[in-house]
């Protein structure tokens, strides 16, 4: 019973059906009818005019977003444990052509205006330091916490005041929206976000993510960078159709709710073992090596995280029986 990551999940049936339905010759790259519908579809979802750019990975979406917001001689404030810092092998540096990540602190990989301001204030404006140009946060965070719309907006205000672009890594944006019960708009552009990497692969897609640009931003540089990065798929319609299938009848939201519900069940059973509140579909346990062994002996697989902590992730397709079994096992710990 595997709780390694939601990116180990299968592709949900609706997406598979959409791929089959699209399977005929068509116009290559993003010239097809499915790709053409994306701007409208996502504009409806976000209640404002947006531009939507499909890519195959969250790393690509993040890197393109950061390249849009930060020049090569700029700096990007992010949490010390951010995915863009720890898990993308320097993709932000590659796509921005060498911008520097400026690391900030905060419990549970969550940043506060004060934490961000502290980083900025230490830099000043001289030419010997890179110029802070963007802020990037992850919602839900790498430790499964969510920023509320008000918390995002506070950071958005700081960005405006300091002249920073604001990027949101939304690998689990669906889970955050599901957890908060708010609108996607409240958690993004209304809170000052300029660019959102909106993840669909973990949440039921096969290989599709979307970069959303808000505020009438010129999309062309990102289109050139996508092509140049080797991310303009020749049969792009098979990406677009995945996205449209995920939007259809809020499949993205239902899948996220399912994953969150599974995690909540585990959290309820884990009680005091929890390292962080469980707000989306990630559970971090502070348990000893004996207990880790006990769980693994019972057939539960998961990652060791930092020393003394393990991470378990649920997904849209987690087996309810496995969830229940895990809950029982945790209660027995």
Using CB under 8 A as the binding rule, the residues of this chain from 205 to 224 that contact a copy of itself are 206-207, 221, 223-224
**Contact call for residue 99 and a copy of itself (CB under 8 A):** yes
Using the minimum distance from each CB to a copy of itself, give the nearer residue, 10 or 328: 10
In terms of Cα–Cα distance, which of 117, 81, 121, 115 is closest to 101?
A: 81
Using the minimum distance from each CB to a copy of itself, give the nearer residue, 99 or 178: 99
Distance in Å, CB of 206 to a copy of itself, minimum: 5
Distance in Å, CB of 183 to a copy of itself, minimum: 27
Instruction: Count the residues of the shown chain that bind a copy of itself, applying the rule CB under 8 A.
Output: 71
Interactions with a copy of itself, residue window 35-94 (CB under 8 A): 55-61, 63, 71-73, 86-91, 93-94
Element (H, E) at 78: strand 74-79
DSSP 261-320: HHHHHHHHHHGGGBSS---SSEEEEE--HHHHHHHHHTT-B-EE-STTEEEEE--TT--H
Distance in Å, CB of 267 to a copy of itself, minimum: 21
Is the Cβ–Cβ distance between 88 and 62 less than 8 Å?
yes
Interactions with a copy of itself, residue window 237-256 (CB under 8 A): 238-239
CA atoms within 13 A on the CB side of 310: 20
Using the minimum distance from each CB to a copy of itself, give the nearer residue, 4 or 308: 4
φ/ψ of 19, rounded to 5, equals -60, -45
The per-residue b/e assignment along 101-128, b for 16 or more CB within 10 angstroms, e otherwise, is bbebebebbbbbbebbeebbeeeeeeee
Distance in Å, CB of 108 to a copy of itself, minimum: 19
Interactions with a copy of itself, residue window 261-320 (CB under 8 A): 315, 317
Using the minimum distance from each CB to a copy of itself, give the nearer residue, 221 or 277: 221
Interactions with a copy of itself, residue window 127-186 (CB under 8 A): 127-131
Distance CA 143, CA 148 (A): 15
Residue 282 β-bridge partners: 313
Distance in Å, CB of 230 to a copy of itself, minimum: 3
- Which whole-number Å values give the CA distances from 229 to 44, 64, 95, 162, 165, in the listed order? 29, 9, 8, 30, 22
Among 11, 185, 327, 333, binds a copy of itself (CB under 8 A): 11
Distance in Å, CB of 48 to a copy of itself, minimum: 25
């Amino acid at each position: 019973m595997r709780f390694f990551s939601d990116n180990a999940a299968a592709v949900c049936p609706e997406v598979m059906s959409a791929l089959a339905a699209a399977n005929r010759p068509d116009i290559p790259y993003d010239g097809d009818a499915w790709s053409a519908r994306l701007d409208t579809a996502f504009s409806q979802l976000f209640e404002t005019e947006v531009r939507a750019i499909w890519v195959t990975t969250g790393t690509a979406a993040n890197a393109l977003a950061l390249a849009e917001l930060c020049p090569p001689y700029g700096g990007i404030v992010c949490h010390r444990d951010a995915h863009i810092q720890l898990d993308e092998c320097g993709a932000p540096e590659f796509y921005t052509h060498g911008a520097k990540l400026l690391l900030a602190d905060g419990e549970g990989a969550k940043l506060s205006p004060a934490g961000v301001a502290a980083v900025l204030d230490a830099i000043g404006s001289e030419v010997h330091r890179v110029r802070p140009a963007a802020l990037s946060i992850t919602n839900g965070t790498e430790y499964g916490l969510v920023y509320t719309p008000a918390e995002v907006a506070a950071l958005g205000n700081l960005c405006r005041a300091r002249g920073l672009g604001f990027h949101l890594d939304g690998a689990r944006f669906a889970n955050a929206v599901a957890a908060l019960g708010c609108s996607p708009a409240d958690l993004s552009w209304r809170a000052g976000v300029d660019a959102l990497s909106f993840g669909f692969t973990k949440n039921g897609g096969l290989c599709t993510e979307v970069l959303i640009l808000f505020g009438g931003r010129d999309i062309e540089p990102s289109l050139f960078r996508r092509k140049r990065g080797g991310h303009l798929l020749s049969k792009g319609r098979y990406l677009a159709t995945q996205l449209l299938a995920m939007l259809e009848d809020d499949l993205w939201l239902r899948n996220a709710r399912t994953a969150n519900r599974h995690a909540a069940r585990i959290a309820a059973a884990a009680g005091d073992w929890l390292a962080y509140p469980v707000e989306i579909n990630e559970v971090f346990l502070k348990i000893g090596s004996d207990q880790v062994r006990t769980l693994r002996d019972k057939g539960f697989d998961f990652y060791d995280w930092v020393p003394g902590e393990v991470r378990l992730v649920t997904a849209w397709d987690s087996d309810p029986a496995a969830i229940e079994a895990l809950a029982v096992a945790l209660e027995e710990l």
